[in-house]
Structure 1
Amino acid sequence: MTLAFNFIGIVTNDLSASLAFYRTLGLDIPEGAETEAHVEVLLDGGMRIGWDTLETIRGFDPAYELPSGSHRVAFAFEAASPAEVDEVFAKLVAGGARSRVEPWDAFWGQRYATVMDPDGNAIDLYAPLSVS
């Protein structure tokens, strides 16, 4: 068997809000994509990330229900510096993202913070505290 993990899919209640959030994180999502039922972009390294509206998913899985409770998946974005972690965190929160974990210096040697995307997925921001 030759499987290759190369796609992450996000089901969203509000495609416009989700795409705006991920654009703030630096993803190159084409303008106007908000009008589509399915959007995907190719990331550096060959991985793809995509978004489907709830209606799109229910089009082939009518019984689909959004999960409830705490997040089940976390995505992590590496920043160039600890200061960038703080800057991006502040920008996302100012834009309406919910703070989960304020920036802190983790014992494993990273500046770390967590915000929630518009659909309740955890987004970790991190950078090494020092360069080796």
Structure 2
Amino acid sequence: MTPQLDFIGIVVSDMPATLDFYRRLGLVFPEDAENQPHVEATLPSGVRLAFDTEAVIKSFHPQWQPPTSAGRTGLAFRCADPAEVDQVFAELVDAGYHGELKPWDAVWGQRYASLADPDGNGVDLYAPLPTAPSPATE
């Protein structure tokens, strides 16, 4: 069997803040998840995105220390269209989350924006840009 990606785990310092952020991006977590040390959401692809508190990691790896810099983990959420990129970015920034890069039309053909989750991990939003109609040939 070839290994298959099944699980993405992120260590968090504040579970309620993390769940609030990712719920705003449409992820569904169990009730009372804010009080749990380990929480998972199953994505439409079947891959699980999980969050563990720092205490959970230290319970089986006592020497573990939180990274001194963020930005090593990045997730990207596809939006329905460019307007949704702008809307979701604005909603998250208005809710107090850090907008790293405001939405822009990227040269690779996507409307793109970057934010940081409560632990500083990169979270991108993107949607394909509409293609310009071809000039009519006569």
Verify same fold: TM over 0.5. yes
Letter in 1 for 2:109: G
Q: Which residue of 2 aligns with 1:118?
A: 118
Q: How does 1:1-132 map to 2 (within 5 A)?
A: 2-130=2-130
Which stretches in structure 1 are left out of the alignment for 5+ residues?
none
The 3-state SS of whatever aligns with 1:11 is strand
- CA deviation profile, 1:58-114 (whole Å, cap 9, x unmatched): 000111111122401110000001010000001111111111111000011100000
How far 1:25 moved relative to its partner?
Answer: 0.3
Which stretches in structure 2 are left out of the alignment for 5+ residues?
133-138
Distance 1:69 1:52, change over 3 A: same
Hey, what's the Cα distance between the residues in 2 that align with 1:31 and 1:6? 23
How far 1:17 moved relative to its partner?
Answer: 0.2
Matched pairs, number: 132
How far 1:131 moved relative to its partner?
Answer: 5.6
Q: Which runs of 4+ in 1 moved over 2 A?
A: none
The root-mean-square deviation of aligned C-alpha atoms, in Å, is 1.3
Identity of paired residues, percent? 52
Distance 1:20 1:80, change over 3 A: same
